[in-house]
DNA sequence: CCCCATTTTAAACACTTGTAATAAACAAAT
DNA sequence: ATTTGTTTATTACAAGTGTTTAAAATGGGG
C-alpha cells in the first residue's frame, strides 16, 4: 500500500549520494520507455519490451510509475524538459534588431529542434499530433515554438496587419519546418534526394527563411 | 482448398446480376476496414471491430482477403482509386497558360484532396508517412500530386533554374498543404482559430498560392 | 542481531489478439 | 432430390497484452 508517490518527500532530499541509487531504475525505465514509445507509439510499445531494454523486471513499471499510461505521461514531460535544455531560447530571437534576423533565428531554432537526431521529442510530438492522447495537453502544444515565429512575422508585416493574415503566415512557416517531423521516417521514399548532412539544418533554415520573406512581402503588399 | 483467388475467372463474368451478391460482403468489409484502419491505424484496428461494423462474421476477412494484412493492402488500393475518381486531374493544371494559374490550380487540387472530409485517404496516407508499412510502396508516395506542383514551379522559376532549388520550393508548397493532413485531428488544440468552413479550402488555396508566389519570386531574384 | 519498510523477482491472472479448424447454410446443376 | 462447390457462421487455439498477487531479497536503524 505504500505508494511510490508518497515517499518522494521522505527520500527525495537524500537519494543522490549512493550514485543515484533510487533514481537508477527509474531513469533507465524512462529512457527505455522513451525509445520504445517513440519507435512504436504508445499502444504498440509493450511493457515487456520496455523493461527488457531497461534491464529490470516486469513489475517495475507498475511499481515506479503506476502503470503504462502514467509512465507515458512521465516520458512526455521528461523529453520536453530534455529538449528544452538542449535547445534553449536564445536571447537574440526576441531582440529588437531587424525582423529578418528574428525570423531567421526563430526558423533556425525550430529546424534544429525538429531535425535533432538525438531528440526523441519530435517523433513523440508527431505521434501525438496525428493521434492525440489525454497526455497531449501536458506538452503545451508547441505554443512556445510558434510564439517566436509570431513576433517575427508581426515585425515583418507591420503593426497594423490583419491578425488572421499573420496567423496564416506563421502557419505557412511552421508547417514547412514541421513537415520533416512527420515524414522523417519515410523521407527516403518520398524525397530520395534529400541529404541529411550536418549542414542540412542550415541550408533548410536559409531556404525556408528566404521563401517566407518573399511570401510575407508579397502578402504585405497585397493588403 | 478452393482459394478465393482462383474463382475470379470462373465467376467474375457473372457475379453482378444478383445485385452485387458476391461483391456485397467484400465491399462492406472494405468500407468498414477503411474506416477502422483510418481511425485507429493498422495495428490498433481489430478484425473483430471490422467484421462487426461490416455486419458479417469473424472468418470473412480470412476467407475473402486472406488475412488482416492483405485486407489492409486492398484498402489502400481501394481508397487510392476512390480518391483519384473524386479528384480527377483537371486539364487546366498542365495547361500552357500563366504559370501563376498553373500553381494555383495545383495547390487547389492538393488542398481539396487533403481537406476532403469524405475521403479516408489523407489519414491513411499520413499514418503511412509517419510509420511506413510494407504496403506503403503500393501508394506511389504522392508523386502524382507533386508532379503538377513541380511543373508549375518550374514554369515560375524559369528553365535555367537550379533543380535543387526547384525541389526545395516544391517541398515548401507541398508541406504547407500536407500540414493539414497530419494535424487534422489535433487542429482544435494546436490552431483553435482555424475555421473549417466550406470556403476554407479556397481561402487556404489563395493564401498558400500567394505566399508561394512571393517566395519563389524572391528566390528567383536571389539566384 | 533483528525488525521493517522498500525494492526486486517471479508467477499467475484476466483479457484481447489474429488465425485455423470445423460445422452449418446455401445455391445451382445434374 | 441429391450432390457439389461456395459462402457463412461458430468455436477453438496459441500467442501476447497490462496488471495483480505474493514471495524473496535488500539494506539500514532499533
In angstroms, the CA of B107 and the C1' of C9 are apart by 60
Query: For chains A and B, what is the number of CB pairs under 8 angstroms?
Result: 138
Question: Please, which pLDDT band fits residue B95 given cuts at 50, 70 and 90?
Answer: low
Instruction: Indicate whether B209 pLDDT > 80.
Output: yes
* CB neighbours of residue B160 within 10 Å: 5
In angstroms, the CA of A219 and the C1' of C12 are apart by 66
Closest CB to B189 among A132, A179, A182: A132
Closest CB to A178 among B43, B169, B179: B179
Domain limits, chain A: 8-82, 88-222
Chain A residues whose beta carbon lies within 8 Å of the beta carbon of residue B214? 214-219
Are residues B136 and A44, on separate chains, in Cβ contact within 8 Å? no
Residues in chain B: 223
Alpha helices in A54-98 (DSSP H): 60-64, 68-86
For B100-133, the pLDDT digits (tens) are: 999 999 999 999 999 999 999 999 999 999 999 9
Instruction: Give chain A as a 3 state SS string.
Output: CCCCCCCHHHHHHHCCCCCCHHHHHHHHHHHHHHHHHHHHCCCCCCHHHHHHHCCCCCCHHHHHCCCHHHHHHHHHHHHHHHHHHHCCCCHHHCCCCCHHHHHHHHHHHHHHHHHCCCCCHHHHHHHHHHCCCHHHHHHHHHHHHHHHHHHHHHHHHCCCCCHHHHHHHHHHHHHHHHHHHHHCCCHHHHCCCCCCCCCHHHHHHHHHHHHHHHHHHHHHHHC
Question: Shortest CA–C1' contact from B60: which nucleotide?
Answer: D8
Q: Which grid coordinates are listed for A140?
A: 503545451
In angstroms, the CA of B64 and the C1' of C22 are apart by 18
Q: What's residue B42's pLDDT?
A: 98
What integer is the mean pLDDT of B139-146? 77
> Fold identical between B13-80 and B87-222?
yes
B105: closest CA of chain A, how far (Å): 18
Chain A interface, mutation test: which of B37, B215, B222, most A Cβ atoms within 10 Å?
A: B215
Closest CB to B136 among A41, A131, A189: A189
Interface of B with A in 171-200 (CB under 8 A): 171-172, 174-176, 178-179, 182-183, 185-186, 189-191, 193
B13-80: in CATH 1.10.3720.10: no
Give the distance, in angstroms, between the CA of residue A62 and the centroid of all CA atoms in the same chain.
26
B55 phi-psi bin (left φ>0, alpha ψ -120 to 50, beta other): left
C-alpha torsion A162→A165→A166→A171, nearest 10: 160
Instruction: Indicate whether B197 pLDDT > 50.
Output: yes
What are the pLDDT tens digits along chain A (223 aa)? 444 434 433 333 333 333 445 679 999 999 999 999 999 999 999 999 999 999 999 999 999 999 999 999 999 999 999 999 998 876 655 556 799 999 999 999 999 999 999 999 999 999 999 999 999 988 876 777 889 999 999 999 999 999 999 999 999 999 999 999 999 999 999 999 998 899 999 999 999 999 999 999 999 998 7
Closest CB to B191 among A131, A171, A219: A171
Are residues B175 and A171, on separate chains, in Cβ contact within 8 Å? no
Instruction: Indicate whether B200 pLDDT > 60.
Output: yes
Report yes or no: B153 and B171 within 8 Å, Cβ to Cβ: no
Nucleotide C8: closest residue by CA–C1': A57
In angstroms, the CA of B15 and the C1' of D5 are apart by 15
Q: Is B162 on the interface with A (CB under 8 A)?
A: no
Q: Which grid coordinates are listed for A217?
A: 512581402
What integer is the mean pLDDT of B131-153? 87
* CB neighbours of residue A49 within 10 Å: 16
Q: What's residue B60's pLDDT?
A: 97
Q: What is the DSSP string of B104-121?
A: HHHHHHHHHHHH-TT-SH
In angstroms, the CA of B1 and the C1' of D2 are apart by 23
Separation of alpha carbons B75 and B120, rounded Å: 10
In angstroms, the CA of A64 and the C1' of D21 are apart by 17
Q: What are phi and psi of B211, to 5 degrees?
A: -55, -45
Q: What's residue B204's pLDDT?
A: 97
Nucleotide D9: closest residue by CA–C1': B57
B87-222: in CATH 1.10.10: no
Task: Please give the CATH superfamily to which domain A8-82 belongs.
Answer: Tetracycline Repressor, domain 2 (1.10.357.10)
Which of 1.10.4160, 3.30.70, 1.10.357, 1.10.10 would CATH assign to domain A88-222?
1.10.357
Q: Which grid coordinates are listed for B19?
A: 445485385
Interface of A with B in 28-87 (CB under 8 A): 41, 43-44
Question: Shortest CA–C1' contact from B18: which nucleotide?
Answer: C27
**Strand, coil or helix: B50:** helix
The residues, ordered by sequence, that sit 6+ positions from A198 with a Cβ below 8 Å of its Cβ are none
A114: closest CA of chain B, how far (Å): 14
Question: Please, which pLDDT band fits residue B92 given cuts at 50, 70 and 90?
Answer: low
Separation of alpha carbons B205 and A104, rounded Å: 25
Q: What's residue A11's pLDDT?
A: 33
Query: CA of B41: which chain A residue's CA is closest?
Result: A131
Q: What's residue A146's pLDDT?
A: 87
Closest CB to B219 among A189, A193, A211: A211
Q: Which of B29, B35, B20, B79 is nearest to B54 (CA)?
A: B29
Amino acid at each position: 500500500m505504500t505508494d511510490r508517490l508518497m515517499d518522494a518527500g521522505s527520500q527525495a532530499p537524500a537519494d543522490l549520494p549512493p550514485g543515484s541509487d533510487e533514481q537508477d531504475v527509474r531513469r533507465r525505465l524512462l529512457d527505455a520507455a522513451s525509445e520504445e514509445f517513440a519507435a512504436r507509439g504508445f499502444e504498440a510499445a509493450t511493457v515487456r519490451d520496455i523493461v527488457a531494454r531497461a534491464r529490470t523486471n516486469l513489475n517495475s513499471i507498475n511499481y515506479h510509475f503506476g502503470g503504462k499510461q502514467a509512465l507515458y505521461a512521465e516520458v512526455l514531460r521528461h523529453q520536453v524538459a530534455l529538449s528544452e535544455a538542449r535547445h534553449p531560447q536564445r536571447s537574440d530571437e526576441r531582440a529588437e534588431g531587424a525582423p529578418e534576423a528574428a525570423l531567421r533565428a526563430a526558423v533556425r531554432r525550430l529546424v534544429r529542434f525538429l531535425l535533432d537526431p538525438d531528440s526523441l521529442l519530435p517523433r513523440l510530438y508527431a505521434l501525438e499530433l496525428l493521434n492525440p492522447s489525454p497526455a497531449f495537453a501536458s506538452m503545451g502544444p508547441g505554443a512556445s515554438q510558434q510564439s517566436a515565429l509570431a513576433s517575427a512575422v508581426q515585425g515583418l508585416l507591420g503593426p497594423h496587419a490583419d491578425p488572421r493574415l499573420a496567423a496564416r503566415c506563421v502557419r505557412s512557416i511552421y508547417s514547412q519546418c514541421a513537415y520533416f517531423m512527420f515524414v522523417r521516417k519515410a523521407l527516403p521514399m518520398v524525397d530520395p534526394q534529400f541529404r541529411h548532412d550536418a549542414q542540412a539544418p542550415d541550408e533548410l533554415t536559409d531556404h525556408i527563411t528566404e521563401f517566407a520573406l518573399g511570401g510575407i512581402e508579397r502578402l504585405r503588399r497585397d493588403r
